[in-house]
Amino acid sequence: MRVNSLSIKNFRCFNELSLTFSNRVMITGKNGSGKSSVLESLYFIMNGKSFRTTDLNDMIKDDEDYLFVESNYKDDFDWEHNSSFGFDRDGRKKILQNGEAAHRKDIMKAASVVVHSPEDIKIVDGPPSKKRDFLDRAIFLTEKKFYSTVVNYKSYLKQKKILLRNGNKNGLLYLNRAVIPYIEEIVKKRQIIAQNIEKITKKIFEEMSLPLSLKIILPDQDENIEEKLNSKIDKELLKGYSLYGPHLDIIKIIVLNRRGKSISMGEKSLISLILKFAEVQLLNDLGIESLFIGDDIIGFIDATRSDMIFSYCTTMENQFIVSHIDSENKKSNWEYITL
Ligand SMILES: Nc1ncnc2c1ncn2[C@@H]1O[C@H](COP(=O)(O)OP(=O)(O)O)[C@@H](O)[C@H]1O
Ligand SMILES: [Mg+2]
């Protein structure tokens, strides 16, 4: 996909701002100039959520009641879209796609965006939930109908909570049987995507001459899911919450350097970026050309490796819209927007 333009109103520090984008855009500016906010608004119009906050009201400019974001872009099939999303502090929202009322999932399904932000170091260094989210988002981008599998699984978890509260063992047995196909699908697809991402990451390490190795480790697949689910019921009834399922799976990402030692913080943030590049590459291989948004793309990465990152980006056909604090050493092949 390609984003042509973005207009925002009352978004974070901005009253009004309109931008047009070429294929490789570097947003620079001082701390607090609004670089992350611009990228956040772009992600927001494509996904209906933020990569920085779970409370959407945080994005409304202080002392204002509402915000509005609009964008013109081409989707994976080269169809041009105009999306707009506005909402106010009372929770009233208006989403339009090509002039018609739309849902968040409509715009999510039309857009393919891979975002990387400094927070993503948690994919390497953080809890399993961050790794699950990373894989699940990658699956969704390869196959948008995975959205409904996730929605169905979440609704199972909600119903399960109610049955556990009511001590309804028969209901739980019935519900467990119904959820099996969703669990199987999530577990299987996570395994496939993890393998593919691992493979591509290895290739990128080689291309960048990085002496690192990476492994994504998922729990062994259970032979009999129904038996496993049902074996937990008595304990779950005591505890009042679910004890088994892909929403709890422990996923590990192990990265070692050449000497088999663990890696530094700087290297971890580099790895999280490379994992996102691998996601973009994987999508390219499937014929899905995603937009890459990279907030503070270089962060603490050293000069040599940051040069490697920038030249890696220029080998890809995808549109890159990234932010970077340094506006001094301008790179060729990038269009600069200084805030
Ligand atoms: N809801 C808001 N209303 C007004 N200003 C905000 C809001 N949220 C954040 N800001 C301010 O917006 C400015 C830009 O933030 P940010 O986009 O993170 O800058 P950068 O990424 O360039 O360092 C900061 O000074 C921040 O305090
Ligand atoms: Mg920032």
Per-residue 3-state assignment (H helix, E strand, C coil) for the chain: CEEEEEEEEEECCEEEEEEECCCEEEEECCCCCCHHHHHHHHHHHHHCCCCCCCCHHHHECCCCCEEEEEEEEECCCCCEEEEEEEEECCCCEEEEECCEECCHHHHHHHCCEEEECHHHHHHHHCCHHHHHHHHHHHHHHHCCCHHHHHHHHHHHHHHHHHHHHHCCHHHHHHHHHHHHHHHHHHHHHHHHHHHHHHHHHHHHHHHCCCCEEEEEECCCCCCCHHHHHHHCHHHHHHHCCCCCCCCCCCCEEEEEECCCCCCCHHHHHHHHHHHHHHHHHHHHHCCCCCEEEECCCCCCCCHHHHHHHHHHHHHCCCCEEEECCCCCCCCCCCEEEEC
Q: What is the pLDDT of residue 44?
A: 97
pLDDT in tens, 61-79: 999 999 999 999 998 888 9
pLDDT-derived band at 175, boundaries 50, 70, 90: very high
Residue 212 identity (one-letter amino acid): L
Q: Please determine, for residue 327, whether its predicted confidence score (pLDDT) is greater than 80.
A: no
Which residue from 11, 31, 37 has its CB within 8 A of the most atoms of ligand 1, so it is best to mutate? Answer: 37
Note the ligand closest to the C-alpha atom of 339: 1
Mean pLDDT confidence for 152-175: 96
Q: What is the model's pLDDT at position 283?
A: 97
How far is Cα 302 from Cα 21, in angstroms, rounded to an integer? 27
Strand 24-28's sheet: what is its strand order? Answer: 113-116, 291-294, 320-323, 24-28, 335-338
pLDDT at 183: 97
**Per-residue pLDDT tens over the stretch 204-249:** 999 999 999 999 999 998 889 999 999 999 999 999 999 999 999 9
Residue owning the nearest CA to atom 2 of ligand 1: 12
Kindly report the protein residue whose alpha carbon is nearest to atom 16 of ligand 1: 34
pLDDT bucket at 262, cuts 50 / 70 / 90: confident
Q: Is the pLDDT of residue 314 over 80?
A: yes
328 — pLDDT class (breaks 50, 70, 90)? confident
User: In Å, what is the CA distance from 177 to each residue of 12, 168, 230, 262?
Assistant: 46, 15, 9, 42
Domains, the chain = 1-112+291-339 (3.40.50.300)
The whole-number pLDDT of residue 120 equals 96
Torsion (CA) 134, 51, 202, 248 in degrees, nearest 10: -20
What is the pLDDT averaged over residues 134-157? 96
Q: What pLDDT does 67 receive?
A: 98
Q: Is the pLDDT of residue 308 over 80?
A: yes
Are 53 and 59 in contact by the 8 Å Cβ rule? The answer is: yes
% of the chain at pLDDT higher than 90: 85
10 lines ligand 1 (CB under 6 A): no
pLDDT of residue 76: 80
Minimal-distance CA residue to ligand 1 atom 3: 61
Q: What is the pLDDT of residues 29-58, one digit of tens each?
A: 999 999 999 999 999 999 999 999 999 999
Percent of the residues in the chain that have a pLDDT greater than 70, as a whole number: 100
Asked if residue 295 has pLDDT above 90, the reply is: yes
Label residues 41-51 b or e (16+ Cβ within 10 Å = b).
bbbbbbbbebb
Report how far residue 84's alpha carbon sits from residue 107's, in angstroms, rounded to the nearest whole number: 9
**pLDDT computed for residue 304 by the predictor:** 87
Residue 97 has pLDDT above 90, yes or no: yes
CA 126 – CA 269 distance, rounded (Å): 12
In angstroms, the CA 94 to CA 102 distance is 8
Name the residue at shortest CA distance from atom 12 of ligand 1: 13
Q: Copy the structure tokens of residue 234.
A: 């008595």
83 lines ligand 1 (CB under 6 A): no
Residue 32: CB within 6 Å of ligand 1?
Answer: yes
Span 169-182, average pLDDT: 96
Please indicate whether residue 33, judged by its CB atom, sits closer than 6 Å to ligand 1. yes
Q: Is the shortest distance between the CB of 12 and ligand 1 below 6 Å?
A: yes
* Per-residue pLDDT band at 303 (split at 50, 70, 90): confident
Asked whether residue 260 carries a pLDDT value surpassing 80, the answer given is no
The closest ligand to the CA of 64 turns out to be: 1
Q: What is the pLDDT of residue 338?
A: 94
| Residue 199 near residue 215 (C-beta atoms within 8 A) | no
31 lines ligand 1 (CB under 6 A): yes
Average pLDDT over residues 287-315: 91
pLDDT at residue 239, rounded to an integer: 95
CB atoms within 10 A of CB 91: 8
Q: Please report, for residues 42, 71, 207, 324, the alpha-carbon distance to residue 114 in angstroms, rounded to integers and kept in the order given.
A: 12, 17, 21, 17
Cα gap 317→68, rounded to integer Å:
30
Mean pLDDT of the chain: 94
For residue 299, the model assigns a pLDDT of 84
Cα separation, 151 vs 158, in Å, equals 11
Predicted local confidence at residue 131, as pLDDT: 97
What is the pTM (predicted TM-score) of this model?
A: 0.95
| CA of 61, closest atom in ligand 1 | 3
Residue type at 39?
L
The pLDDT of residue 9 is above 90: yes
